[in-house]
Amino acid sequence: MTHTLQPGNPEATPAPETTDIPATRAPVAAPASSAAPASKVPAALKRRIPKYSDLAPLMQFKTPEFSKEARLKRASTIWELRDIAKRRTPRAPFDYTDGAAEEEITLRRAREAFLDIEFRPGILRNVSQIDLSTDILGRTSRLPVGIAPTGFTRMMQSEGEYAGSQAAEAAGIPYTLSTMGTASIEDVAAAAPNGRNWFQLYLWTDRDRSLELIERAAKAGNDTLMVTVDTAVAGARLRDVRNGMTIPPALTLKTVLDASYRPAWWFNFLTHEPLTFASLSRYTGTVADLINSMFDPTLTFEDLDWLRDTWKGNLVVKGIQTVEDARRVVDHGADGVILSNHGGRQLDRAPIPFHLLPEVKEAFTKDNTDAAIMLDTGIMSGADIVAALALGSDFTLIGRAYLYGLMAGGRAGVDRTLQILEKDMARTMALLGASRISELNPDHVRLLRR
């Protein structure tokens, strides 16, 4: 008695038991029904007429939304906010924000620097909770990013500095008002009374006017003075030259034609308080002429000593582009440095802050200094911020990124900018295996070279 299996089919059912068949007996043919059945089509793959009950859950037609809130919500990146801003803002103010000096090589390189990195994630870390808070200049910031000083801000969108300072207050981050701002120190303090307000200073040839601003900033509760040192003369911002950019914007035939495509901007511009420099005397003319007429090309480190003696709060120097200068300003009393090439708006082909960062961090470590290292220029995502923090920056600042949000939707647009960056940062850190800022380190980032 034997059991047999069909060759090559280990899952076949064993054949029934049989007895030996005499050799003289003819073999019996297998019945036709015993042949292997044809492969069956799974029920899920059989075609059928769809039922309404199957289709109903799929028919989720929504009424198109054209509100500002819906428009901003659809933006998932800073680049998408930039696209909205470009559609809604006249060319001259948009290009003033978007452009840089000469051939704009510095700005392109700054953005490429953040693209030319490789993240190196750690695995099997508990990242169920991400803490993005960090300490900067003696106080805690809920996010490791603040709003950089920007001039003429109400020209970009009528809410201007008020939108920026209030959004920063709500987000728990610092806001920096520019000397070239279009809202006064006192008005910004009143608009965001619980915010952390910083003041950015351009040292003028008229020291008495500089001293007046310093005293006003202190009286209004600003805890940090940020002095910008890379504007001995104005950079050649060729987009502004081509657009005939003036302060305030001039109503020429060209601007009127441009306005016909952006009526909301012009309506806001013409129905709000006239655009002026809140910290300066009333001025009419080009931006470059204003800078060249007001700012002092004779500044030296002795002037920094004067500022240190005059200002009792945190003193930060913005516009550092070499390791040597970073060390020198700290020796002259600076509590922090901002590695910055003015967003590429001054010297074209200037050093890239992100590339300079590891060298400055190494130098400060050797010097055993606790001066803060901050960085701006080229930041367009939360991943950019995380990369800067990993390579040694204590804090970052955004200018264009926040202005794109402002132009896209006023205060709500700035809020959206910060929401996008916060979400980007939290996701990037979780994927890197870091649950808090202090866990980021240079091992998380590798710089690639073109």
Strands 196-201 vs 224-228: parallel, antiparallel or unpaired: parallel
List active site positions: 342
Alpha-carbon distance of 276 to 295, in angstroms, equals 18
Residue 342 pLDDT > 80: yes
Cβ neighbours around 186 below 10 Å, total: 13
Closest to 92 in 3D by CA, of 274, 251, 233: 251
Compute the distance between CA of residue 311 and CA of residue 356 in angstroms, rounded to an integer: 28
- In which band, very low, low, confident or very high, does the pLDDT at 278 lie, cut at 50, 70 and 90? low
Q: Is the pLDDT confidence value at 162 over 90?
A: yes
- Preceding omega of 248 cis (within 30 degrees of 0): yes
**pLDDT of amino acid 19:** 46
- Please check the confidence at residue 1 and state whether its pLDDT lies above 50: no
Section 162-168 average pLDDT: 98
Contact predicate 400/377, CB 8 Å: no
Asked if residue 132 lies in contact with residue 426, where contact means CB atoms within 8 angstroms, the answer is yes
Of 237 and 418, the structure prediction assigns the larger pLDDT to 418
Q: CB of 242 within 8 A of CB of 147?
A: no
Separation CA 168–CA 188 (nearest Å): 12
For residue 159, pLDDT beyond 80? yes
pLDDT tens-place string over residues 177-215: 999 899 999 999 999 999 999 999 988 777 888 899 999
Higher pLDDT, 296 or 265: 265
DSSP string, 312-334: -SEEEEEEE-SHHHHHHHHHTT-
Q: Which has the minimum average pLDDT: 116-125, 187-196, 253-262, 430-439?
A: 253-262
Torsion of CA 162, 164, 168, 173, to 10 degrees: -120
Q: What whole-number percentage of the chain has pLDDT above 70?
A: 84
User: What's the whole-model pTM score?
Assistant: 0.85
**Secondary structure class of 304 (helix, strand, coil):** helix
Average pLDDT score over residue span 202-230 = 91
Question: Looking at residue 291, what is its pLDDT?
Answer: 64
DSSP codes of every residue in 404-433: HHHHHHHHHHHHHHHHHHHHHHHHHHHHHT
Highest mean pLDDT among 61-70, 87-96, 318-327: 318-327
pLDDT at 233: 80
- Report whether 100 contacts 238 (CB < 8 A): no
Token pair in block for residue 194 = 């619980």
Residue 107 reports pLDDT greater than 90: yes
- Asked whether 343 and 400 are in contact (CB, 8 A), the reply is yes
Q: Which one-letter amino acid corresponds to residue 86?
A: K
pLDDT tens digit sequence for 82-92: 999 999 999 88
For residue 175, what pLDDT is reported?
98
Q: What is the mean pLDDT of the chain?
A: 87
